[in-house]
Structure 1
Amino acid sequence: MPLALSLHLLAAVIWVGGMFFAYQCLRPVAARVLEPPQRLTLWCHLFSRFFVWVWVAVVTLVVSGHGMIALMGGMARVGLHIHVMLVTGYLMVALFLHLYFAPYQRLKKAVGASDWPLAATQLNQIRRFVGINLLLGLITVVNAVAGPMLYA
């Protein structure tokens, strides 16, 4: 169980921390100092690297989370905070899957074709999904840590 919990926490930190960095730190700076072609190309390359880590995080979170639930005796034996974590976590996964297979794929094609207006539209959609997922991720982290006390 300690290994599963450690992997679960590391995966959450990588995913949520990466979104926080991209959304709150990189995005405002890149928007100010780079022209659209450079900014959109940067985001396309950044996502190609970050999303590999998100895929690893998603698989790790699902496998380790369900593994720990099984070790604790199943869903009937875990606290409400675990049920809430599953809901918010699977919402995050669903949003990521949509982001990855729809606007991100269109962003890559638009950047490859130098269609900067279309690329900007796709990046804006990604920004919204990342913002929602970041909020869900922060809620999930707080719930994971404080949930046992909140729902006691």
Structure 2
Amino acid sequence: MPFAITLHLLAAVVWVGGMFFAYMALRPVAATLLEPPLRLPLWSQVFGRFFPWVWAAILALPLTGYWMILGPFQGFASVRWYVHVMQAIGWVMIAIFLHIYFAPYRRLNRAVAAGDWKSAGAQLAQIRRLVGLNLILGLTTITVATAGAYFTVD
């Protein structure tokens, strides 16, 4: 179990922490300092470096989570409410990421390659909104996961 919980936590930190950095630090600076012909390829390449880590996280999180639930915790009936909430939000986050990756991110890359800054900007705006939503969900999940044990809802 120590390996599973460690991998689970590290995957969550990488994913949510990466979104926090991108949204709260990189985005405002890039928007202020860089014009679209520089900013949009930057984002395309940043996502190209970050998204493989997200793929690793979305593999590790369910695998380690279910490993712990079905192993040491002896099934879904044995886990407390906050584990179910964490699982539900996690699947929503994965679905949002899959949409980002297979729709606006691919369109962003095509538009950047074509030098179509208006279209690339529209795709980046959609990614920004969805990453913002996923960041809120990720921070909520972290809060539920860490504080859930201290609430008596069961």
Q: TM-score range by the shorter chain?
A: over 0.9
Paired letter, 2:34: L
Distance 1:4 1:141 in 2: 17
Matched, 1:11 2:38: no
Q: Residue 149 of structure 1: CA displacement? A: 1.2
Question: Which whole-Å CA distance do the structure 1 matches of 2:46 and 2:126 have between them?
Answer: 16
Equivalents in 2 of 1:66, 1:124: separation in Å? Answer: 34
- Considering only aligned residues, what root-mean-square deviation do their CA atoms show, in Å? 0.6
Counterpart-to-counterpart distance in 2, 1:37 and 1:88: 36
1:63-74 matched pairs, under 5 angstroms: 63-71=63-71, 72-74=73-75
CA distance in 2, matches of 1:75, 1:106: 39
* Cα separation, 2, equivalents of 1:10 and 1:28: 26
Q: 1:92 aligns to what?
A: 93
Q: Which residue of 2 aligns with 1:24?
A: 24
**1:122 corresponding residue in structure 2:** 123
Tell me the distance in 1 between the aligned counterparts of 2:70 and 2:37.
48
Aligned to 1:37: 37
**What displacement does 1:19 show?**
0.1
What runs of 5+ residues in structure 2 fail to find an aligned partner?
A: none
In the aligned structure 1, how far is the partner of 2:66 from the partner of 2:27?
34
Any idea what SS the aligned residue of 1:73 has?
coil
Percent identity of equivalent pairs: 57
Once the two structures are TM-superposed, the CA of residue 88 in structure 1 deviates from its matched residue by 0.6
Q: Name structure 1 gaps, 5 residues minimum.
A: none
Shift of 1:4: 0.1
Q: Does the residue aligned with 1:132 lie in a helix, a strand or coil?
A: helix
Residue 84 of structure 2 corresponds to: 83
Paired letter, 1:124 = A
Corresponding letter in the other structure for 1:96: F
Count of aligned residue pairs for this structure pair? 152
Give every structure 1 segment of 4 or more consecutive aligned residues whose post-TM-superposition deviation is greater than 2 Å: none
Note the C-alpha offset of 1:101: 0.3
Q: Alpha-carbon deviation of 1:148?
A: 1.3
| Secondary structure in structure 1 of the residue aligned to 2:115 | coil
Query: TM-score, normalised to structure 1's length?
Result: 0.99
1:110 paired residue number: 111
